[in-house]
Amino acid sequence: MPQIHLRAEPGDYAPLVLLPGDPNRAKLVAGMFDGGLDAARLVNDHRLLLGYTGTYNGVPVSVQTSGIGTPSLSIVVEELLRLGAKRLIRIGTCGGIGRGLRTGDIVVATAAAPVDGSTRTYLHGDPYAPAADFELTRALVDAARAKGLKPGIGPVASVDVFYNPDEDYVTKWRSRGILAFEMEAAALFYLAARAQGSGEDVRAGCILTVSDTLGETEAGDVETSEETYMELTDLEAATVRMIEIALEAGAAV
């Protein structure tokens, strides 16, 4: 039976699914499948939550738009799990706050602080640490290093507010060892762990491109995303590299 938002049937998605927030990135991923976009099968376009299935180096793989934020991603992942997805990799962008991170760098998330409302709703106030699957995380790190990259590896914070005005926003989370802000990983890691807790073989990972950096200027002001955001052509090139890493890692696990 088709789901409410993903108008697909069991078997339409491969066990391995990449999760970009942007539908244009879903098209970009599908264009990197064997045979390109024309060979990929469109399995969902409802609400522009574009989903495609194909193969990468002969391995079945799907890509499914998640939308922005944990409310949208949670709907998509809940329905993907019902449709048989087993390996879920978020691919997206983040605001880097870790020391030494620069735009264009890669971050592989090991865990995500649940600063978002959806994960808190799932948890009913219980303390919990949403963490990525170790094997998927190691595969992402290995694939990045095989390309000569040195990814940032560590926790991120999943937040609801993109333009956060709090003066201590960056310093507080950097002092806790957080590498970057993003908006989806905590719910993804929780839902995969919940499925594991029910006895299912479901794993989740997350790889991100640093699209902007957040920090303090010499005057003590917080730099905004607009001031450091990558040029779109540079961001697209970095995104393609990130997608290649995710495809290679996902195919290996």
Catalytic machinery residues: 212
CA distance 145 to 106: 10
Question: Helices in the chain by DSSP H: which ranges?
Answer: 23-30, 70-82, 117-123, 134-146, 169-174, 185-197, 225-228, 232-252
Element holding 107 (H helix, E strand): strand 106-114
Q: Are 202 and 136 in contact (CB under 8 A)?
A: no
Q: Are 76 and 47 in contact (CB under 8 A)?
A: no
Element holding 64 (H helix, E strand): strand 59-64
Which residues partner with 111 through β-bridges?
131
Q: Which residues contact 38 (CB under 8 A, 6 or more apart)?
A: none
